């Protein structure tokens, strides 16, 4: 192939006027032909297609893709938990107060004499106070056991707490007095 033909094809190639067959002709020349010194800089342009075979997906590509999708779904769930965290704290407080109220109500209904006046006999007053405190202690122990069971269930959920903690660093805190967000790093 003569140099004049190659120069004409190159000029057409740079002007986007070559056909597919002319481009193949250029690729064959630069890959297998005797390339003159003035055309040596163009070898990488046309040798690229020969050196890079089409990429194929690996056998476990779908498995890796599904794993990444599940990971992003989990991160979205953690963000949802973080958004509702203040409401969860309020709900827990309300449940605790309601539990104490219900406990006091049932203690009052079980034994009405607990709240009877006993100031005339200090021994009876001490005995009734001890009884009331024992009942309160029993109720608090039951509440503590329920809390420990809840914590055990949370531990058994196999959560990645480091990811949850990293999410809290990304969410700015809100200060209603200053009406602006505060970054956790500034605390």
Provide the domain limits for residue 150. Answer: 141-187
pTM (predicted TM-score): 0.29
In a domain, 156, yes or no: yes
Chain centroid, CA 148 distance in Å: 26
In a domain, 10, yes or no: yes
**DSSP-derived secondary structure for 95-125:** HHHHHHHHHHHHHHHH-GGGGS--TT-HHHH
In a domain, 20, yes or no: yes
Best-predicted range by mean pLDDT (44-48, 73-77, 89-93, 124-128) = 89-93
Q: How far is CA 45 from CA 2, 26, 39, in A?
A: 20, 10, 11
Query: Residue 14 above 70 pLDDT?
Result: yes
Average pLDDT over residues 9-32: 86
Judged by phi (left if over 0) then psi (alpha if -120 to 50, else beta), residue 136 lies in alpha
For the chain, what is the domain count?
2
CA dihedral 139, 141, 143, 146 (to 10 degrees): -140
Query: Residue 81 above 70 pLDDT?
Result: no
Look at 92 and 53; give whichever has higher pLDDT.
92
In a domain, 160, yes or no: yes
Average pLDDT over residues 4-17: 88
In a domain, 123, yes or no: no
Q: Would you state the structure tokens that stand for residue 112, as one six-digit string?
A: 């009405």
Please tell me the distance from the alpha carbon of residue 169 to that of residue 183, in angstroms, as a whole number: 8
């Amino acid at each position: 192939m003569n140099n004049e033909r190659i120069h004409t094809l190159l000029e057409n190639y740079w002007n986007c006027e070559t056909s597919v067959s002319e481009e193949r002709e250029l690729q064959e020349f630069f890959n297998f032909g005797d390339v003159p010194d003035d055309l040596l800089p163009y070898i990488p342009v046309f040798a690229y297609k020969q050196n890079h075979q089409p990429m194929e997906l690996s056998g476990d590509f779908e498995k890796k893709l599904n794993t990444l999708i599940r990971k992003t779904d989990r991160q979205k769930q953690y963000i949802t938990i973080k958004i509702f965290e203040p409401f969860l704290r309020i709900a827990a407080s309300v449940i605790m107060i309601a539990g104490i109220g219900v406990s006091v109500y049932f203690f009052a209904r079980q034994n009405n004499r607990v709240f009877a006046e006993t100031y005339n006999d200090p021994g009876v007053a001490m005995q009734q106070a001890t009884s009331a405190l024992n009942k309160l202690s029993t109720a608090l122990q039951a509440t503590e056991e329920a809390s420990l069971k809840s914590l055990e269930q949370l531990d058994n959920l196999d959560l990645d707490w480091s990811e949850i903690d990293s999410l809290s660093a990304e969410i700015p805190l809100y200060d209603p007095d200053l009406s602006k967000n505060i970054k956790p790093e500034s605390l």
